[in-house]
Chains A and B, each alone.
Chain A
Amino acid sequence: MRWWLKARRIHTTLLTSYAVFVALVLLLQDVVADLPSFLTGGDNPVVAILMAPVPLYAALMVSLESRLPAAEDTGTRPVRLMDAGLVLTVIAAAALAGTVIGLSFASSSALAVGRNTAFLVGLTLCTRPLIGSPAVMTPVAWLLAVMLFGFDHGHPYFWSVLPRANDDPIALTAAAVSLALGLVGQMTLRPRAIS
């Protein structure tokens, strides 16, 4: 267990990123800016907190990518199970931070941060078996798509997930499905070697 914690750089990279993530949620919870829309030509209000999970999911990816192949491939330790546990722990920690901050500052945008982290982590894990470590850019593509195409005169489309209301069933389902698919992929498929 201890070698796994160290090999995954959990005590350094992941904890630092978690601190950055919490700081971002605190700082960005009320930041809104008008971004250009590529569909209507007008501007759409986009909340900056959508980007708060970026350092956290990226650090999680760094963690999962820092492997010791020789020791892990022997199969004497349940490494994949531990990795899945790590993913779920990170998401739970993000949701906890979002809930605490959201409730104590009465900010509804911070409450959605757990769901959004789950969705983005799921997206990353879904594409990781296909393209390896560049999968870390998949959520960036999604975020850009949401910012540029995801709004119809200020209202987010159903597929955009991230800026939807907290109790939106489609967004919750999407986050759950993407995370489940990502975990299944991680448990069953061998990740591509670092390119």
Chain B
Amino acid sequence: MNLPKQLRISSALWASPVALGLTLFYFYVTFTDDYPNSRGEIDYAPEVVSFALNPASALAYAAAAALAAWESGRLTAGGVWAAAPARSPYHVAAQALFPVLLLSWLMLLIPVVGGLISEGVSPTLACLPLLGMSMFVTIAHCVIGFALGRAVPRLIAAPALAMAVFYAVAASASSGETFWPRHVLGEYHGVLAFGTTLPLKALAPHMIFAGGIAAGAAVLLTRPRSYRTRLALPAVAAVMAVAGPTAAYAQVSSWGASTPVSVGHAQMTCQGDKPEVCVPAAGSADPGRARADVVAVVADLARAGAVVRMPTTVQDSIINGNQSRSSTTRTWLLPLTSSQRHGTTRYETLSQAVRYPCPEPKEEVASRSVKLWAAQIAGVSRHYMKQQRAEINQIANGDELLRVVQKRVERVRAMPAERQAAWYRHELKRACVAPPDTEGAS
């Protein structure tokens, strides 16, 4: 049978207006309304791909499984399996499944390619693993649907598979406290932030889960000559169909809500030494300017008597994606690219330069006072106060607290320089001591 005829008689043709229409509508809605809200500071092709595939792959898998079951039922109804075997059953299946696979892959590729084009982001090699995993799982769903369509009447198998696959995959992210479904059902529910990629370890469970069931289903298609092999066939198929999901489950059973990702995949441009300042080349930020800002703030604070150790390296925290790595005294992580775009590098430097002797300050007034004092020294107090006012709304009587802080710092700033430096050192320690009661001391 030639290709045009194959496409014409396939159910995929009749399903394509609905399937592609939904896909196009979805693509239009997400990339006009949603993506602008969640895009990162730097254009990153895998981010677009992960965003496009998130609910699109659930629809594609449902279409693949349901239409494959329908096609398989069509072959059965046409008496193909009862006819004398002139061709291998795999050949027959592949020919019937090709249009279905084509449609399902289109349902994945349209949002991906459309997203990349509409965002003006050029695709990179790093996009391929996630897209490849989705395309592989689509093939697996085709095979599973085909096998089920042979066993169950197609009028039942097709609608049941469509709903079950769509619901299971799309809902896998919100399975409450059970986290394994989201790691094995073929959909990555996060967004790959800049510099993040999915390692093989995170992609393999999806492929082993669906691929194992599909391999078991494919074994059922063979027509062995001997009676004994025919008897053993269902057992072999069952073992394969159970082994794949079990292996995938075993790998992800200890994972939490988020998939392990690998971060820091970005080419960096660096400048200077002690501190060496690095920003990703793709963000086109100027490491020289960033370095000048960092050095200036540290120098200002040192001149005012605050003890600040110059870091050896300053890195842009954007390459860590959504994973927060904390800075050390030697290595500072600052959002350099975004802060340079908004002109707030000096302010961001302050968050690392003012170091409490404890991981988290416990005393509200003292911790905010030293920050405000340092912000005044660095000349960014206006921006600091703006941030504080936005933040303070979440605390009860926050306005009052902020007024107290401002008054204290005003009083300290009137003192001679040495007294100010001594106050600063004392206050840093005080910020780490929990207040005796919830009223707080001023």
Interface residues of A (CB under 8 A from B): 13, 17, 33-36, 38-39, 41, 43, 46, 48, 51, 54-55, 58-59, 61-62, 65, 133-134, 136-137, 139-141, 143-144, 147-148, 194
Q: Are A35 and B171 in contact (CB under 8 A)?
A: yes
Partner of A148, one of B22, B34, B156, B171: B22
Complex contact A38–B25 (CB within 8 A): yes
A54 touches B155 (CB 8 A): no
Q: Which of A62, A133, A148 has the most CB of B within 10 A?
A: A148
Q: Is the CB of A13 within 8 A of B153?
A: yes
Among B162-170, B201-209, B339-347, B412-420, the stretch in contact with A? B162-170
Residues of A within 8 A of B163 (CB): 51, 54, 140, 143
B167 touches A48 (CB 8 A): yes
Pairs of residues from A and B, 4 with the lowest C-beta to C-beta distance, nearest first: A33-B171, A34-B174, A36-B55, A41-B34
- By CB atoms of chain B within 10 A, which of A36, A51, A62, A143 has the most? A36
Complex alpha-carbon distance, A54 and B173, angstroms:
23
CB <8 Å contact, A58 and B174: no
Query: Are A41 and B30 also in contact (CB < 8 A) when A34-B171, A144-B166 are?
Result: yes
B175 at the interface (CB under 8 A from A): yes
B305 within 8 A of A: no
Given A34-B173, A65-B155, answer yes or no on A141-B167 (Cβ-Cβ < 8 Å). Answer: no
Rounded to whole Å, the gap between the CB of A181 and the closest CB of chain B is 20
| 7 A-B residue pairs with CB within 8 Å | A33-B174, A39-B29, A61-B155, A62-B155, A137-B162, A140-B163, A144-B166
Chain B residues with a Cβ under 8 A of chain A: 11, 14-15, 18, 22, 25-26, 29-30, 33-34, 54-55, 66, 77, 153, 155-156, 158-160, 162-164, 166-167, 170-171, 173-175
A136→B54 contact, CB < 8 A: no
Known: A33-B174, A36-B55. A134 touches B162 (CB 8 A): no
Alpha-carbon gap, A51 to B171, bound state (A):
13
B11 contacts across to A, CB distance below 8 A: 134
New A-B pairs, 20, CB < 8 Å, besides A33-B174, A65-B155: A17-B156, A33-B175, A34-B174, A36-B54, A36-B55, A36-B170, A38-B29, A48-B167, A58-B155, A58-B156, A58-B159, A62-B155, A62-B156, A136-B155, A137-B158, A137-B159, A137-B162, A140-B162, A140-B163, A147-B167
- What is the minimal beta-carbon distance from A193 to any residue of chain B, in angstroms? 12
| Least distance between B278 CB and chain A CB atoms (Å) | 35
A34 to B156, CA, bound (A): 26
Contact residue among B25, B54, B159, B167 (Cβ-Cβ distance under 8 Å from A33): B167
- B159 adjacent to A139 (CB under 8 Å): yes
A54 near B14 with CB under 8 A, answer no
Would A35 and B156 count as touching, CB distance under 8 A? no
Residues in A with CB closer than 8 Å to B160 are: 54-55, 58
Which residues of the other chain, A, contact B166 by a CB distance below 8 angstroms?
A: 144, 147
A159-B319 Cα distance, complex, nearest whole Å: 46
Q: Which of B15, B77, B162, B167 has the most CB of A within 10 A?
A: B167
The residue that B174 contacts in the complex, of A43, A55, A141, A147, with Cβ under 8 A, is A43
